[in-house]
Amino acid sequence: MPFRRPIFVLFISILFSMPVVAQTTTPAFLNLNDRQNCWVDSVFTNMSADDRIAQLIMVAGYSNRRPSYEDSLVRLVQTAKLGGVVMFQGGPVRQAQLTNRLQAVSKVPLLIAMDAEWGLAMRLDSTVRYPYQMTLGAMQGNDSLIYRMGANLARQARRLGMQINFAPTVDVNNNPNNPVINFRSFGENKYDVARKALAYVKGMQDNQLLTSIKHFPGHGDTGTDSHYDLPLIAKSRPQLDSLELYPFRELIKAGAAGVMVAHLSVPALDTTRNRPSTLSPAIVTNLLKNELGFQGLTFSDAMNMKALTKYFPSGQADELGIEAGLDVLEFTEDVPAALAKIKQAVAAGRISQASLDARCLKVLRAKVWAGLDQYKPIDLTNLVSDLNSVQDDLLNRKLTEASLTVLKNDRNLLPLQRLDTLRIASVAVESDKITAFQQMAANYTQVNHFNITSRTPDSTLAQVRDSLKNYNLILVDVHLNNIRPAARYGLQTKTAALVSELVATGKAVVTVFGNPYVLDKLTFPMDTVQTARNIEQARAVVMPYQLTNYTEELSAQLIFGAIGASGKLPVTVNQRFRFGDGITIQPIGRMKYTIPEEVGIDSRYLAQQVDSLVNVGISRKAFPGCVVQMAKDGKVIFRKAYGNHTYDASLGAEPKPVQLDDLYDMASVTKVSTSTPALMRLVDEGKFNLDGKMADYLPFLKKSNKADLVWRDVLTHQARLKAWIPFWMDTKNPDGTWKPKTFKSERSGRYPIEVTDSLFEFKNYPKVIYQQIRDSPLNEKKEYVYSDLSFIMYPLVVKRVTGVNFEEYVKSTFFRPLGATTLTFNPRRFYSLDRIVPTEYDSLFRKTLIWGRVHDEGAAMLNGLSGHAGLFGSANDLMKVYDMYRRMGSYGGQQLISQKTMAEFTRYQFPELGNRRGLGFDKPSFTYSGNAPRSATKASFGHSGFTGTFVWVDPDPAYNLTYVFLCNRVYPTRNNNTLSNLNTRTNIVEALYQATKRGIQ
């Protein structure tokens, strides 16, 4: 239909007939093209006067109710020809189905709206929940993230068939006891509120979602909830102009599409007794539209709220709201009464038909701008997955991280350093099971967990108190499941007393997962606390503002120095905790745990590649199970356990599912995880000369053929040493019995070395092993031959040079400072067998299942402790060692190995001889051989282990990756080479290289 100029002129003339004081930006939905104006004209022309009134009414819709309710809603919308529906509680698929039904019976497409201040999850299950606005108020200089939140929310809303978000809240919350705004506000600073709200609005409106800023003229300074009564704002007009109205003025200037008017009594603006601002011409028309120059859609707050209905019965309030100047009535409860009252007002001349027509045209223009002129039903295919993008996960992480606020940090305790000096307990208050915070904290070091609630028996509390005496640091995570002041923010009196007691120890780092105003309840003694024990006595205080998995995990990462903190308190709590408080914390270089998208990798692609490779390996019985862990740029982006400990229970070990923290036998990965770093530290200290001779550090070799072998040749496996010696074979007589002074079936003082439960070695037999190495012949030619022999003797070198036994040396020098506490020899001493993965069945020497003892026979005969094999541990702890290598010897604020030494050990030593090795480390072959991933750079290095383990580091800036693969491919027998034949280990890390190259598509 051709464009009808007279109707457009009618709308424009009415719209701009009002005196405008403020210079504002016209909302985008009013700037339409000819095609869109034509649609508005056509729809408007075909409407009756009653239809035009109905376009100004929105009713509530719920998708979690019975079919009979939905049927009645559909009939109401159809018969009354309403303009829109405001959706409340339900689920995305159910809401989409209901929306499709409603739109199908509506001659004019409906505006579908929602209060989604912190995302669709404010109303719907199975959708994205973003941080509360007060949480975002703590962010400093990250408004672009808030813009992205608005943009992402707009995408989700459009996918769900929505056109309006009644958000953001632009109220300045300067009343700590505000029962209705509070955490929904960006804070108490008007400039911050306006700036952040603008970023949020622009993110939504730039992506075709209408917005409605609220609650005009300002709901921040009240102690009354307008859902239940009419709040009084007892401020002068200058005070309102200076504070409450400031954000509204700024966003109106910037082109906000909508404004929601609150139900408030504001005598400075309208002295009529008990007249809510929603029904006030002085506030809606004179102030908002005329004085502030607002041209967009003016919405009422919900018309069913007690602040309104207490004084104005249903229907009357709706008519008075339209008479006051509202464009759209939200949540009208009695539609027939409202329509009747409005029509009566028109007939009586209190409302002009022309003004109603202008408002109807405005609504239609909003509809066409939102795309309803080309309406299509919501496609239910993949709806839930489309509404839960991994990019939203990443954004949530970034928003949360940017808001974390440290309010106290005595003597720069945070981030925690020198983990080897700390005995850490975590106490989760008001959680009866292990929390996400506790789980994340345990990724960094040994942390023992305690969980207490206000219902915990006193006898149990006494036991906890006694246990906590053994720790010098207590991480107290306070879990508050309510954010509202009326519920004391979820803080029970006994909970406050428990927190007070814990901080009084002088050992507590307190993280409060809740509304920041709760700090006031923890700052001063509660009724049941006899002394002034309060949160100020904590050594450090972290405020994440709310309780989510994101806040829990990232708070723990902050405490351990994987991330920093830059948040500032957005409100004043009391004299101790004031607006703007917040201590900047810098990260100190520990692994961060995140998702692949944070480093530019597509998580679905990477997971598909790794899953496929691992599943093929398991199906081909290359290994019964494994753990894969990957990191890029020091960020752990992939951690997954696959399969089971064993194939079946035939050998006595149940096929229980592999867990991420299970301990595996590292086999030859021991070489580069213990011996090699020990030598690097000795080189740094000037105690070991790489170009010295073996006899220099092992005097018993002086008269042997190994005396003059150079360590650099030895460490690169070209010193002519034999590959290995089957030491155990020399302990047997021809008839199969044990030779004297070898083994006995029972432990004694002469036979103390436990090889199995029923096999004990002679106390001096390790000397025989060293003698066998000393006396072994050398290979004729100096060429690369991989050998275990020198690594067997590095514990002797370390003990001779340092005076410290090998295990204690590597643990105290590296593992404990790294927080790699599961890395150990002979793990049965410290861990139950349930935690340790069985390795193999030894059918030749030990005749038993090797479980929690080293698989290598030589290492077993050395009491399970050797420099070539015997290390056990989890994938996560092992990765700490290799990420330290990637960081050129630095980790957690400590330079454990110098950059110079790291560079020397990890470079090709003799490439001119065709030797691919570094010092201890393996490196990529000069022509591809499968020992390394195809895309590995020359800077990369790592090692494999006989049991199926593999580690790889590539510090090249293009990749900057760390990789750990742990499995027990030798279960039940070492005669299984399927893992190598499939090349699973290097193919998996190659998938990480390819994912890095591919990026996010």
- DSSP for 536-564 reads GGSSEEEE-SS-SHHHHHHHHHHHTTSS-
Residues 823-840, mean pLDDT to the nearest whole number: 97
Query: Taking a C-beta distance cutoff of 8 angstroms, is the pair 45, 4 a contact?
Result: yes
What are the tens digits of pLDDT across the range 425-472?
999 999 999 999 999 999 999 999 999 999 999 999 999 999 999 999
Question: What is the residue whose two structure tokens read 């002086």?
Answer: 702
Half-sphere exposure (Cβ direction) of 566: Cα atoms closer than 13 Å? 13
On whether the CB atoms of residues 959 and 996 are closer than 8 A, the answer is yes
Q: Which pLDDT value is given to residue 529?
A: 45
Residue type, 428: A
Q: Is the pLDDT of residue 225 over 90?
A: no
Backbone angles phi and psi of 949, in degrees to 5: -85, 160
SS3 category, 805: coil
Q: What is the mean pLDDT of residues 284-289?
A: 98
Yes or no: say if 666 and 947 are a contact pair by the CB < 8 Å rule: yes
What average pLDDT does the segment 399-417 reach?
Answer: 98
The Cα 895–Cα 2 span in angstroms is 76
350 C-beta neighbours (distance < 10 Å), count: 13
Cα(390)–Cα(752) distance, rounded to whole angstroms?
56
Q: What is the pLDDT of residues 321-354, one digit of tens each?
A: 999 999 999 999 999 999 999 999 999 999 999 9
Return the half-sphere exposure (C-beta side, CA atoms, 13 A cut-off) of residue 304: 10
Sign of CA dihedral 80, 260, 70, 382: positive
Mean pLDDT (whole number) for 981-991: 98
Q: With beta carbons less than 8 A apart as the criterion, state whether 123 and 115 touch.
A: yes
The Cα 848–Cα 838 span in angstroms is 11
Rounded Cα distance, 546 and 828, in Å: 41
pLDDT at 675: 98
pLDDT category at 309 given cuts 50, 70, 90 is confident
- Taken in order 652, 657, 659, 665, the sign of the CA dihedral is positive
* Residue 5, both tokens: 């100029």
> Looking at residues 545-566, what average pLDDT do you find?
98
Q: Per-residue pLDDT tens for 133-149?
A: 999 999 998 899 999 99
Burial class, 726, CB count within 10 angstroms (exposed 0-12 / middle 13-18 / buried 19+): exposed
Percent of the chain at pLDDT > 70 equals 97
Q: What is the pLDDT of residue 66?
A: 96
Residue whose structure tokens are 């050129």: 888
What DSSP string describes 97-141?
Answer: HHHHHHHHT-SSPPEEEE--TT-GGGTBSSS--PPPHHHHHT-SS
Q: Worst-scoring range by mean pLDDT, 92-106, 331-345, 519-533, 901-915?
A: 519-533
Q: What is the dihedral sign for C-alpha 182, 185, 186, 192?
A: negative
933, burial (CB in 10 Å: exposed 0-12, middle 13-18, buried 19+): buried
626 closest CA partner among 654, 664, 594: 664
Look at residue 769 and tell me whether its pLDDT is greater than 60: yes
What strand order describes the sheet that includes 759-761? 743-744, 759-761, 753-756
Whole-Å CA distances, 271 to 233, 243, 260, 267: 12, 20, 21, 4
Condensed to tens digits (0 to 9), the pLDDT of residues 232-278 reads 999 999 999 999 999 999 999 999 999 999 999 999 999 999 999 99
The mean pLDDT of 536-559, rounded to a whole number, is 97
Question: In terms of residues, how long is the chain?
Answer: 1001
Which of 865, 903, 896 is closest to 881 using CA atoms? Answer: 896
Q: What is the pLDDT of residue 5?
A: 41
Q: What are phi and psi of 479, to 5 degrees?
A: -105, 110
Quickly state the pLDDT bin for 533 (edges 50, 70, 90): low
747, 760 contact by CB (below 8 A): yes
Question: Is residue 735 predicted with pLDDT exceeding 70?
Answer: yes
Tell me, what's the pLDDT at 3? 36
For residue 50, the 8-state DSSP code is H
Does residue 933 have a cis peptide bond before it, meaning omega lies within 30 degrees of 0? Answer: no
User: What is the per-residue burial (b if ≥16 Cβ within 10 Å, else e) of 825-857?
Assistant: bbbeeebeeebbbbbbbbeebbebbbbbbbbbb
Amino acid at 488: R
Query: In this predicted structure, what is the pLDDT of residue 8?
Result: 45
pLDDT at 812 over 80: yes
Contact 956, 937 (CB under 8 A): yes
pLDDT of residue 2: 36
> What share of the chain has pLDDT > 90, as a percent?
92
pLDDT digits (tens, 9 = 90+) for 578-591: 999 999 999 999 99
Burial of 104 (0-12, 13-18, 19+ CB in 10 A): exposed
Instruction: Tokens 């150079």: give the residue.
Output: 710
- Token duo for residue 846: 């030990």
Contact 666, 827 (CB under 8 A): no
Between the alpha carbon of residue 403 and those of residues 152, 476, 525, 571, 955, the distances in Å are: 19, 20, 28, 13, 31
Q: Residue 576: pLDDT above 80?
A: yes
Pairing relation of β-strands 894-895 and 890-891?
A: antiparallel
pLDDT confidence bin for 16, thresholds 50/70/90: very low
Q: CA 544 → CA 139, 565, 585, 769, 926, distances in Å?
A: 11, 10, 14, 57, 51
pLDDT of residue 184: 96
Is the CB of residue 136 less than 8 Å from the CB of residue 568? no
Q: Please check whether residue 691 is in contact with residue 709, taking contact to mean a CB–CB distance below 8 angstroms.
A: no
Q: Which 3 state secondary structure label does DSSP give 674?
A: helix
Cα distances (angstroms) measured from residue 876 to each of 641, 716, 822, 823, 882: 12, 28, 9, 10, 10
Average pLDDT estimate for 312-318 = 89
Could you tell me which residues come within 8 angstroms of residue 111 by beta carbon, excluding any fewer than 6 positions away? 58, 83, 84, 85, 163, 164, 210, 363, 366, 367, 370, 372
Closest CA to 429 of 514, 367, 363, 366: 514
Q: Cβ-count burial of 858 within 10 angstroms (0-12 exposed, 13-18 middle, 19+ buried)?
A: buried
Tokens representing residue 41 in the block:
């004209």
Full DSSP string of 813-844: IIIHHHT-TT-EESGGGTS-GGGB---EEETT
In the structure, what pLDDT confidence band is assigned to residue 540 with cuts at 50, 70 and 90? very high
In angstroms, the first-to-last Cα distance of the chain is 42
Structure confidence at residue 524 (pLDDT): 56
- CA-nearest of 495, 494, 574, 497 to 530 is 497
Strands (E), 618-705: 625-632, 635-643, 664-665
Q: Would you say residue 96 has pLDDT above 90?
A: yes
Tokens 């208050």 correspond to 429
pLDDT digits (tens, 9 = 90+) for 691-709: 999 999 999 999 999 999 9
Q: What is the pLDDT of residue 22?
A: 56
What pLDDT band is residue 13 in, cutting at 50, 70 and 90?
A: very low
Q: Determine phi and psi for 113, rounding to 5 degrees.
A: -125, 170
* Residue among 504, 511, 519, 551 at smallest CA distance from 428: 511
DSSP 630: E
Phi and psi for 813 in degrees, rounded to 5?
Answer: -85, -35
Average pLDDT over residues 975-988: 97
**pLDDT band at residue 891 using 50, 70 and 90 as cut-offs:** very high
Bridge partners (DSSP) of residue 760 are 744, 754
Buried b or exposed e, range 291-325, using 16+ CB within 10 angstroms: bbbbbbbbbbbbbbbebbeebbebbbbbbbbbbbb
CA atoms of 259 and 73, how far apart (whole Å): 26
